[in-house]
Structure 1
Amino acid sequence: MGTAEIAERLGVSRVRVHQIATTDPSFPEPLDEIKAGKVWLAEDIERWISKHRPPARS
């Protein structure tokens, strides 16, 4: 997943994803960095979301 996909999944901006990724030590390490930016394993991001983002209330 790239920053844009993570932003969409979290409902935040790409800038906010960058802030989280650089300041939250629990955020997964990126798998690699390509010209378009850092990329993460989707499984790592989904695991982080399940631990750190409570489900939305209806």
Structure 2
Amino acid sequence: MGAHEIRLRLGGVSRQRAYQVTCRQDFPGPIADLAQGKVWLRQDVEDWMTVHRQDQAGTEEL
């Protein structure tokens, strides 16, 4: 999942806020850094949200 999908999963936060979240030391590391940007494993992001964002966890519709 890319930064845009992470923004959506976090409830439509700003790009800046998504960047702040993905730079946290406890946020999973990206699996690749492509020309379009970093990408993360969806399950890693979902697992992080389960612990850190209970209000947003499990509401995926994509």
Q: TM-score, normalised by structure 2?
A: 0.80
Structure 1 stretches of 5 or more lacking a match? none
Q: Would you say 1:48 and 2:43 are equivalent positions?
A: no
Q: 4+ runs of 1 displaced by more than 6 Å? A: none
- How many angstroms apart in 1 are the aligned matches of 2:43 and 2:35? 22
Structure 2 stretches of 5 or more lacking a match? 57-62
Specify the SS of the correspondent of 2:46: helix
Match of 2:59 in 1: none
What amino acid is aligned across from residue 19 of structure 1 in structure 2?
Q
Specify which structure has the higher proportion of helix.
Answer: 1
Q: TM-score, normalised by structure 1?
A: 0.85
The count of aligned residue pairs is: 55
CA RMSD of aligned residues (A): 1.2
Match of 1:17 in 2: 18
Specify the SS of the correspondent of 2:22: helix
How far 1:14 sits from its partner (Å)? 2.1
Alignment identity in percent? 45
- How many angstroms apart in 1 are the aligned matches of 2:43 and 2:15? 19
